[in-house]
């Protein structure tokens, strides 16, 4: 029987974010007859680690990496490499990239892949220098979008276009939602059948990143003298109280719904008429792909990978970051034109089905693994 290809995934926290959701996709859908997988992380929290374990794979938290050269942690990784003998190390997130390249090189792992999962606009010169060094040690460097690959890996770091490749993130197809489920959740959040709902999804950790404040301000302007309009914000974090205060100060508390963290967002997308993500930076924007698969017209800022995902005036609207008035104007256009909403939503759905599904992501990764292992 042919021996399975062993993949050792290394990353920072496995929690609830997009990187770990893609690792869950690989755990579920990478061909188990061809591949074995093991997952190392700094810490494991939430449901995703248990879901990966339910697929039959180990998830091993080793503790925080205090610095790129925390040799106590590196020795733990080296011991796991010695025991597991992987054919491929796949590192993601800066800490994971650090551990994958240093220890993959020291232990002579046949193939080392690293993945840039962020839009590193604010990375220090030292961080960029280290990423450039790590890229030299890797066999392939994945960017999670065209934007990350072309603008950062190739454009800024100068990695060759033979080594740096774009593999778009992919998301699971939305589950079917019953009318009864939808009515129940709408009632829970105080959303009526006649409400026009603008929605957004994301972690509320740093406003300098997701800029929910800009969306709330734009909505406050848009909603003046309008009764049946709502802003539905899905997510949680340290900034949530600040956003609630902002909504109160702008006198739209009764129109802004804070849904908190939701493990199943399928219902929430079904409640929306328009989806907006107005981040200051974004490597990909998984929630954009999810919204498009739910046939929602989208408003997104022209940053990072989002400007490649959203085709302006074809699948939605692109706006400049931090431009509250422009966001408000695009919401108004979509509010007034139901036919345009439908057209943009259908166009977005077709694009997402071609390019951003979980199936296409897993196939691209599997093809890459096999091509590198089989390379002379």
Q: Quick one: three-class SS letters along the chain?
A: CCCCEEEEEEECCECCCHHHHHHHHHHHHCCCCCEEEEEEECCECCCHHHHHHHCCCCEEECCCCCCCCCHHHHHHHHHHHHHHCCCEEEEEHHHHHHHHHHHHHHCCCCEEEEEECCCCCCCCHHHHHHHHHHHHHCCEEEECCHHHHHHHHHHHCCCCCCCEEECCCCECCCCCCCHHHHHHHHHHCCCCCCCEEEEEECCCCCHHHHCHHHHHHHHHHHCCCCCCEEEEEECCCCCHHHHHHHHHHCCCCCCEEEEECCCCCHHHHHCCCEEEECCCCCCCCHHHHHHHHCCCCEEEECCCCHHHHCCECCCEEEECCCCHHHHHHHHHHHHHCHHHHHHHHHHHHHHHHHHCEHHHHHHHHHHHHHHHHCCC
Mean pLDDT of 354-370: 95
Q: Are residues 339 and 193 in the same domain?
A: yes
Q: Are residues 207 and 322 in the same domain?
A: yes
Q: Are residues 123 and 248 in the same domain?
A: no
The CATH number of residue 308's host domain is 3.40.50.2000
Q: Are residues 129 and 41 in the same domain?
A: yes
Q: Are residues 187 and 39 in the same domain?
A: no
Q: Are residues 47 and 84 in the same domain?
A: yes
pLDDT of residue 63: 92
Q: Are residues 268 and 342 in the same domain?
A: yes
User: pLDDT per residue over 268-294, tens digit each?
Assistant: 999 999 999 999 998 888 899 999 999
pLDDT of residue 262: 86
Residue 2 has pLDDT above 90, yes or no: no
Residue 84 has pLDDT above 90, yes or no: yes
Mean pLDDT of 119-147: 91
Q: Are residues 351 and 365 in the same domain?
A: no
Q: Are residues 247 and 194 in the same domain?
A: yes
| pTM of the predicted protein model | 0.87
**Average pLDDT in the chain:** 93
User: pLDDT per residue over 223-239, tens digit each?
Assistant: 998 999 999 999 999 99
User: pLDDT per residue over 65-77, tens digit each?
Assistant: 888 889 999 999 9
Q: Are residues 29 and 150 in the same domain?
A: yes
Tally of domains within the chain: 2
User: pLDDT per residue over 303-324, tens digit each?
Assistant: 988 999 999 999 999 999 999 9
Mean pLDDT of 132-157: 93
- Range of 123's domain? 5-170+357-373
User: pLDDT per residue over 257-275, tens digit each?
Assistant: 999 988 788 889 999 999 9
Mean pLDDT of 10-38: 92
Q: Are residues 200 and 121 in the same domain?
A: no
Q: Are residues 197 and 309 in the same domain?
A: yes
């Amino acid at each position: 029987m042919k021996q399975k290809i062993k993949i050792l995934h290394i990353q920072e926290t496995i929690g609830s974010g997009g990187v770990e959701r893609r690792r869950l996709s690989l755990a579920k859908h990478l061909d188990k007859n061809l591949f074995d997988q093991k997952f190392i992380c700094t810490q494991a929290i939430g449901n995703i680690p248990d879901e990966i374990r339910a697929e039959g794979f180990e998830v091993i938290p080793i503790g925080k990496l205090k610095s790129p050269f925390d040799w106590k942690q590196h020795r733990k990784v080296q011991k796991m490499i010695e025991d597991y003998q992987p054919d491929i190390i796949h590192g993601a997130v800066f800490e994971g990239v650090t551990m994958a390249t240093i220890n993959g090189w020291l232990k002579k792992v046949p193939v080392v892949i690293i993945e840039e999962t962020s839009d590193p606009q604010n990375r220090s010169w030292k961080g960029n220098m280290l990423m450039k060094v790590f890229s030299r040690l890797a066999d392939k460097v994945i960017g999670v979008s065209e934007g990350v690959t072309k603008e950062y890996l190739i454009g800024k770091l100068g990695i060759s276009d033979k080594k740096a490749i774009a593999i778009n993130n992919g998301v699971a197809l939305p589950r079917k939602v019953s009318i009864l489920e939808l009515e129940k959740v709408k009632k829970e959040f105080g959303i009526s059948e006649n409400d026009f709902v603008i929605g957004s999804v994301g972690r509320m950790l740093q406003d300098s990143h997701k800029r929910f404040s800009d969306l709330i301000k734009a909505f406050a302007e848009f909603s003046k003298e309008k009764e049946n309009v709502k802003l539905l914000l899905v997510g949680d974090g340290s900034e949530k109280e600040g956003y609630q205060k902002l909504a109160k100060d702008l006198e739209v508390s009764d129109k802004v719904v804070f849904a908190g963290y939701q493990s199943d967002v399928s219902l929430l997308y079904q409640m929306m008429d328009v989806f907006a993500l107005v981040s200051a930076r974004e490597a990909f924007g998984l929630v954009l792909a999810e919204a498009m698969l739910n046939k929602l017209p989208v408003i997104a800022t022209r940053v990072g990978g989002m400007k490649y995902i959203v085709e302006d005036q074809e699948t939605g609207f692109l706006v400049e970051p931090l431009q509250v008035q422009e966001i408000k104007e695009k919401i108004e256009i979509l509010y007034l034109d139901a036919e345009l909403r439908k057209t943009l939503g259908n166009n977005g759905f077709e694009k997402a089905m071609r390019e951003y599904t979980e199936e296409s992501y897993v196939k691209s990764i599997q093809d890459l693994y096999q091509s590198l292992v089989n390379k002379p």
